[in-house]
Amino acid sequence: MDLTRRGLLAAGTVASLATACSGGRGGAAASPVPGGFVLGSVDGVTRVAQLTGPGAINDTASVLLAGADLGHMTTVGERTWFVFGDNFGIRDADAFGGTGEVWKSNCLAWTTDDDPTDGITFDGWVLDDLEQVKEVLPGDHKPNDQVGEVTKIPTQLFAVDETMYLAYMSVTHWGEPGVWETDHAGLARSTDDGQTWEILEAVTWPGESGFVQLAQVPLTVDGVDWIYLWGIPAGRFGEVSLMRVRAQPAAVEELSSYEYFAGEVDGEATWSTDLNDAVVVLDRGTAELSVLWSSHLERWLLASMLDNGSAVLYEGLSPWGPWSEPHEILTQADTPGLYAPYLCPRYVADDGRRLFFTLSIWGPYQVYWYSMDLRRTGGD
């Protein structure tokens, strides 16, 4: 199978443990913080380790995983879950991009490793009866002809109490670099520590909506626990919108419980239960994304790509912005085929000045571990 999809992408060839790895409740500001932007630059970007495939610090061959991408992270208790997308169990040594045999749309690894400085060692995987990585949300694997589902790509994972939720997009066609089409986006639920999953048929968003790919942060507002979810359409050129849902299983599993950011009135955020009222909070060509609250900067950070090109970092004054101009992390010239920079608040160092992140690279079709340093304007 050769996936000419989100990758041919080279068209443009904190510190505390939180409930989930795209943010955190402790100290995060739910309203605009005073003052302006304080991030001066991103520098010191370093490849720390390879996480998947031949030559990685993890033996992924033993679970029949020879190539994978994505690797967004969520911490539940002491475990941090790594969620991978399309993966292949058998690949030629010189294989390029998403190609190979024993194709699975997704899989999950977990770790208790809390030292990001030398890479992340996986403690285990969700496995099938053959002791191979399990496709937890089976994709239909239809031809890439816009007729049926090609694959189910996981876009985010979060937890409420002991229940885990996995967001996915149902891809029906991989088009030009950074362009694809989806039938819908949805949620699946696990109540047995990720071993089995049930798709929630009543919780879906249209494939042309702005909530096909997600980033999430658990956030407490006026004593109420919420899951904030930033969304983009299918592909890598969409604008960012924002929704939220109460951090209760009954709410997460009821589509009418979701509230969409509908703008500000007299400086106050307004929310609507009507998807059509959702407004854009970041009007940049955005790809796979992650969001966290930086305790070092006391600002929000959003990592993604810009127009299917460079990996970038935005600074935000509130969950809905305003957002800064993009700070360049890596370019396609630096690292051809890069995509999907995912942050995790568990994995920071130097009092939040250094962030660690996963990064997919299309050429070898593997996931790598990187670090970057945040420099304040006029200081460190």
Question: pLDDT of the chain along its 380 residues, tens only?
Answer: 544 444 433 333 333 333 345 445 557 888 889 899 999 999 999 999 999 999 999 999 999 999 999 999 999 999 999 999 999 999 998 899 999 999 999 999 999 999 999 999 999 999 999 999 999 999 999 999 989 999 999 999 999 999 999 999 999 999 999 999 999 999 999 999 999 999 999 999 999 999 999 999 999 999 999 999 999 999 999 999 999 999 999 999 999 999 999 999 998 999 999 999 999 999 999 999 999 999 999 999 999 999 999 999 999 999 999 999 999 999 999 999 999 999 999 999 999 999 999 999 999 999 999 999 999 998 76
Question: Is residue 322 in some structural domain?
Answer: yes
Q: Is residue 5 part of a domain?
A: no
Residue 4 in any domain: the answer is no
Q: Looking at the DSSP assignment, which residues form a beta bridge with residue 313?
A: 303, 327
State the virtual CA torsion across 273, 274, 276, 280 in degrees, nearest 10.
-10
> Could you give the CA distance from residue 327 to residue 315 in angstroms, rounded to a whole number?
8
User: Could you give the CA distance from residue 65 to residue 113 in angstroms, rounded to a whole number?
Assistant: 20
Chain centre to alpha carbon of residue 124 = 20
Question: Is residue 251 in some structural domain?
Answer: yes
Contacts of 208 (CB under 8 A, 6+ apart): 233, 234
Chain segment 159-212, per-residue pLDDT in tens:
999 999 999 999 999 999 999 999 999 999 999 999 999 999 999 999 999 999
On whether residue 181 sits in a domain, the answer given is yes
Peptide bond into 326 cis (omega under 30): no
Contact 358, 83 (CB under 8 A): no
The answer to the question of residue 3 being in a domain is no
Rounding to the nearest 10 degrees, give the CA dihedral for residues 181, 184, 189, 194: -10
Distance CA 147, CA 3 (A): 16
256 close to 270: Cβ distance less than 8 angstroms: no
Alpha-carbon distance 115 to 354, whole Å? Answer: 13
Q: Alpha-carbon distance 340 to 342, whole Å?
A: 6
pLDDT tens column, 313-344: 999 999 999 999 999 999 999 999 999 999 99
φ/ψ bin of 235: left (φ > 0), alpha (ψ from -120 to 50), beta (otherwise): left
Distance CA 320, CA 29 (A): 11
Query: What totals of helices (H) and strands (E) does the chain contain, helices first?
Result: 1, 23
CATH at 37: 2.115.10
In a domain, 1, yes or no: no
- Catalogue the long-range contacts made by 131-135 (C-beta closer than 8 Å, 24 or more residues apart): 131/63, 132/63, 132/64, 132/65, 132/89, 132/102, 133/63, 133/64, 133/65, 133/87, 133/89, 133/104, 133/107, 134/104, 134/107, 134/108, 135/104, 135/105, 135/106, 135/107
Amino acid (1-letter code) at residue 63 = V
Contact call for residues 185 and 169 (beta carbons, < 8 A): yes
Its domain, for residue 349, covers: 10-376
Query: Going by C-beta distance under 8 Å and a sequence separation of 6 or more, which residues neighbour residue 192?
Result: none
How many domains is the chain partitioned into structurally? 1
2 found inside a domain: no
